[in-house]
Amino acid sequence: MNSFPINSIREDFPILKSKINNHDLVYFDNAATTQKPQSVIDSISNYYEKYNSNIHRGVHSLAEKATNEFEKTRTKIKKFINAKSNTEIVFTRGTTEGINLISSSLGKYKFSEGDEIIISEMEHHSNIVPWQMLAKEKNLKLNTINVTDEGKIDLNDFKNIISSKTKLVSLVHISNTLGTVNPIKEIVEICNTNNIISVIDGAQASAHSVIDVQNINCDFYVLSAHKMYGPTGVGVVYGKEKLLEEMPPYMGGGEMIKEVKFSGTSYNDLPYKFEAGTPNIGDVIGFKEAINYIENLGKDQIIQYEDKLRDYAQKELNSIDGFRIIGNSENKIGIFSFTIENFHYYDLGLLLDAKGIAVRTGHHCTQPLMDKYNLDGTARVSLALYNTEEEVDFFVDSVKNLLNR
């Protein structure tokens, strides 16, 4: 792990110098949102200080500068996930809006009464509720893939519940609760063989794995900037151009139009057909710097470091008496949802906060998964590229001290 420049990386994130309750901050809530390097913060400030303007609508210098920087982010994302074209990259406010865009737009023309949609038991609420709403509206059937005790998708169950009426499968790439990395390429191949639309929730995967949408060959891939060291309020829908061309707009208003008359409106070309209104310009521009930061470090180097830190953390966490990790797939990232015997997760979260340690407590927006494991919630440690073995040690020692009080 010495070859990874962890000390200089930590210097790039100003919040990591914070004191929480007179302790150094140990930030272990990265699955909820990651912290931001100074370069991202500076990029957003620079937009508002130097060239704040609306985009795509003006010919003055500020508007042209803002438009160019905004569109550079689209190009950067296209390369980051290996999409074929900028036209396949649609900006949203986040993964949640992205999935809602897909479900709403496809729902207007792609489904008939009795059609079926498949999700899994490990999905985030954002990949459950939109499909429930569509199923209720269109009288569709929503099927769920079983998750094994180890926290893996049961592929045999998936194959068994596919029918001639299955029109769409929407699955998480990496579980925000279990850390499980799902076999997305294999699942998408099954979908393509059966002429089923595939939607992949990549919110957790974007910062922790290499994403190649052409290699995966999915129809849609959705992600959020704030899970990958970028700002909140920015997301991306990747969609195959053919499908995006077929789909009606999600919202109406400015930018998504080509011509408006009271007799009728024609819509803009891709991707602008799905980008109604003034977007979150400054934060989209900041997102480009987040991707630059990841690329400058090197995705392979980040993954190698995080894998080693995951293995170290798992070993040390298991040394805690009464400690139980929920989800033990052999293919997972550094996300550990856990319970401790005779210790409520909420109390644990408060006591750790007193030590400056930030962990998540609750159901993690995966209540059906909690129900499966007969839990009302867990505590969760989720690691990122700026976390260290020393922080893991401090966490483990702090928990052990709490248990021995």
Domains and CATH numbers, the chain: 6-30+298-403 (3.90.1150.10), 41-295 (3.40.640.10)
For residues 380 and 361, the answer to whether their CB atoms sit within 8 Å is yes
The DSSP element (H or E) to which 307 belongs, if any, is: helix 299-317
Chain centre distance of CA 326: 20
**64 vs 73: CA distance, rounded Å:** 15
Tell me which residue of 252, 250, 249, 284 sits closest to 269, measured CA to CA.
Answer: 249
pLDDT reported for residue 274: 94
Count CB atoms within 10 A of the CB of residue 396.
Answer: 18
pTM assigned to the model: 0.96
**237 vs 11: CA distance, rounded Å:** 32
**327 vs 174: CA distance, rounded Å:** 12
Instruction: Catalogue the active-site residues.
Output: 365
Name residue, tokens 């169950």.
157
pLDDT reported for residue 268: 81
Tell me which residue of 213, 231, 209 sits closest to 91, measured CA to CA.
Answer: 231
pLDDT reported for residue 1: 45
The pairing of beta strand 19-20 with beta strand 23-24: antiparallel
pLDDT reported for residue 208: 96
**Burial call 305-343: b when 16+ CB within 10 Å, e when fewer:** bbeebbebbbebbeebeebebbbbbeebbbbbbbbbeeb
pLDDT reported for residue 298: 96
pLDDT reported for residue 253: 84
pLDDT reported for residue 256: 80
**225 vs 285: CA distance, rounded Å:** 11
Q: What is the mean pLDDT of each run of 10 residues along the chain (405 residues)?
A: 86 97 97 98 98 92 96 98 98 98 96 98 98 98 97 97 98 98 98 98 97 98 98 98 95 82 86 93 98 97 98 96 94 97 92 97 95 95 98 97 87
Please give the angle made by the CA atoms of 384, 389 and 394, to the nearest 5 degrees: 105
**147 vs 149: CA distance, rounded Å:** 7
CA dist list (Å): 27 to 20, 181, 369, 386, 387: 10, 22, 25, 9, 8
**169 vs 142: CA distance, rounded Å:** 10
